[in-house]
Chain A
Amino acid sequence: MCGLIALRGNWPRGSLAPLIDNARRRGPDMFGIGWLTEGAWIVRHYLTPSWPERFCPEHDVEGPDVWAVGHARLATSGEPGALRDAQPLLIEGMMFSHNGTVYRHERLAERYGFALDTQNDSEALARLFLYHGYDPAQTMEALEEYQGRMNHAWIAASGDQMWIASWGQPLYHFRSRDREAVTSWRSLGAKAIPPGRSIVWNR
């Protein structure tokens, strides 16, 4: 149960707040946002107050060329208040946000020889995605071989490419003249991304 956000294009100041408000409905524990600026990723994580108490992150994401990944987390592994387990994760230059559960993720990591930095089960999936060369289908095939068919969705960004993968957890795509968003909830004008589909954005 998490809220995912992907943004690209022209986003004015204040755009993030309503997106966070919706994302927090699915992920009440913490919020994170990662954005690319001058070729480098910046990521910030925050503990969030109980909905609907107001929450405004210190850093807004705005500008004509936004390239950002956000995540509102409901902790199902680790402690609800442990920011070290917050998403998006930044792993080997890739920003990663995930909605779903990787059961016994330590065993998955052990199977592939991944060294985990957090207690967040999504990290195992992120490393699996890297292992399979950013291929969503191969990653899902490997994950299903490990734990059976489950619902997942993730957003991964590395450099100038972003992969948006829908595998049963909801994702909706909004597009206008100068901006695009993908979110875990349906908003006005957004279309559902069918399960089993991936979108690739190029910056």
Chain B
Amino acid sequence: MIAALGKKQSVSSQQTWLQTIHRARELEPVIERRIERAVEAIRAAVGAKQLCFGWSGGKDSIVLERVLALAGYRACVLVITSLEYRAFLQWATDHMPPRLTVIRTHHDLGWLAAHPEMLFPSTANIAARWFREVQHWGQERFVKRERFDLLAVGRRRKDGNYCGRDGIYTNARGVTRYAPLADWSHEEIFAALRYFKAELPPCYSWPRGYQVGTGPWPARQFAESRLAAWREVREIEAGIVERAASAGIPGANECLNQG
């Protein structure tokens, strides 16, 4: 029996994640049936409603995409800012689902300079604000414009996400989210990725890649310090730090000066 990996926020070690991926191979004999049950559950939960899903390019949304495709659902939305890693956008270009709509928000370096509190969130409130202003804003726009009843998301309890009762919940703005993978473990996600032969975006090979996942670079969490976060960003894409320093973003210059 596999000892399940805990909440991702507390697991910073890439080595631990890689061990989890290796252990997930033990689920190979059972993952197909797990996927089939998920498809059955989705069809039962959705019924005649119109469903779309949020696609972030992350490992959970890749599995979500493949499972929902088996259930017959393909319309999806990706919400991005002007603060994305170039390598992620390039990967997304090569791997985007056919029926994806991309919505870009107004968040850019000028916005970040005016909102320095949003840089490398050190509290859950600030992290939640990133999700509200970016993903939730864009997803709501898509759902309401296209008149979908349900927005499926790759949220899981193992990531510390609220998933509602039975994986379905409606927020104060009237968007009903459905988390079909709410009770999936990290190991099951990795086993499904292997089953689908899915390619992961480059972020998972970056510093603390599995802990941080996808998302705009300033939303990077759980670094030891602001300088440590800047060093990670510089390691991933040095040009970001240079441009941020030119825009007066706090700490960027310090990172460049330290070499």
Query: Among residues 46 to 103 in chain A, which have CB atoms less than 8 Å away from a CB atom of chain B?
Result: 50-52, 74-77, 79-81, 99-101, 103
Query: Among residues 140 to 177 in chain B, which have CB atoms less than 8 Å away from a CB atom of chain A?
Result: 141, 145
Q: Known: A50-B106, A52-B145. Is A150-B100 also a contact (CB below 8 A)?
A: no
Tell yes or no: B103 within 8 A of A by CB.
yes
Q: List 8 A-B contacts (CB under 8 A).
A: A26-B102, A28-B104, A29-B104, A52-B141, A76-B86, A76-B90, A99-B93, A185-B99
A76 touches B103 (CB 8 A): no
Query: Among residues 1 to 55 in chain A, which have CB atoms less than 8 Å away from a CB atom of chain B?
Result: 1-2, 25-29, 50-52
Contact partner of A80 (CB less than 8 A), chosen from B82, B96, B103, B145, is: B82
Query: Size of chain A's interface in residues, with CB distance under 8 A?
Result: 26
Contact with A along B82-97 (1 / 0, CB 8 A): 1000100110111010
Known: A50-B103, A80-B108. 7 other contacts (CB 8 A): A1-B100, A26-B96, A28-B104, A52-B145, A74-B89, A81-B82, A186-B98
A77 touches B86 (CB 8 A): yes
Min CB distance, A103 to chain B, in Å?
7
Tell yes or no: A170 within 8 A of B by CB.
yes
Tell yes or no: A151 within 8 A of B by CB.
yes
Report Cα–Cα, A51/B138, bound state, in Å: 9
Of chain A, the residue at the smallest CB distance from B99 is: A185
B93 touches A74 (CB 8 A): yes
Report Cα–Cα, A24/B29, bound state, in Å: 42
B103 touches A51 (CB 8 A): yes
Min CB distance, B251 to chain A, in Å?
22
Min CB distance, A186 to chain B, in Å?
7
Closest 4 CB pairs of A and B: A25-B101, A76-B89, A101-B90, A1-B93
List of B residues within 8 angstroms of A74 by Cβ: 89, 93, 102, 104
List of B residues within 8 angstroms of A81 by Cβ: 82
B103 touches A28 (CB 8 A): yes
Contact partner of B100 (CB less than 8 A), chosen from A25, A29, A50, A52, is: A25
Q: Known: A25-B100, A52-B141. Is A150-B86 also a contact (CB below 8 A)?
A: no
Of chain A, the residue at the smallest CB distance from B102 is: A28
Query: Size of chain B's interface in residues, with CB distance under 8 A?
Result: 20
Which residue of B82, B93, B108 has the most chain A CB atoms within 10 A of its CB atom?
Answer: B93
Contact partner of A1 (CB less than 8 A), chosen from B96, B108, B145, is: B96
List of B residues within 8 angstroms of A151 by Cβ: 94
Tell yes or no: B105 within 8 A of A by CB.
yes
List of B residues within 8 angstroms of A75 by Cβ: 89
Contact with B along A144-183 (1 / 0, CB 8 A): 0000001100000000000000000010000000000000
Of chain A, the residue at the smallest CB distance from B104 is: A28
List of B residues within 8 angstroms of A27 by Cβ: 102
List of B residues within 8 angstroms of A77 by Cβ: 86
B104 touches A80 (CB 8 A): yes
Min CB distance, A48 to chain B, in Å?
10
A76 touches B93 (CB 8 A): yes
Report Cα–Cα, A26/B104, bound state, in Å: 11
Of chain B, the residue at the smallest CB distance from A184 is: B98
Of chain B, the residue at the smallest CB distance from A151 is: B94
Report Cα–Cα, A80/B86, bound state, in Å: 11
List of A residues within 8 angstroms of B99 by Cβ: 185
Q: Known: A77-B86, A80-B82. Is A101-B93 also a contact (CB below 8 A)?
A: yes
Report Cα–Cα, A50/B104, bound state, in Å: 6
B103 touches A103 (CB 8 A): no
Of chain B, the residue at the smallest CB distance from A3 is: B102
Min CB distance, A120 to chain B, in Å?
13
Of chain B, the residue at the smallest CB distance from A48 is: B104
Of chain A, the residue at the smallest CB distance from B93 is: A1
List of B residues within 8 angstroms of A80 by Cβ: 82, 104, 108
A50 touches B105 (CB 8 A): yes
Report Cα–Cα, A25/B77, bound state, in Å: 9
Report Cα–Cα, A77/B88, bound state, in Å: 11
Min CB distance, B136 to chain A, in Å?
15
Of chain B, the residue at the smallest CB distance from A78 is: B86
Report Cα–Cα, A61/B145, bound state, in Å: 27
Report Cα–Cα, A51/B141, bound state, in Å: 9
Of chain B, the residue at the smallest CB distance from A150 is: B94
Report Cα–Cα, A170/B97, bound state, in Å: 10
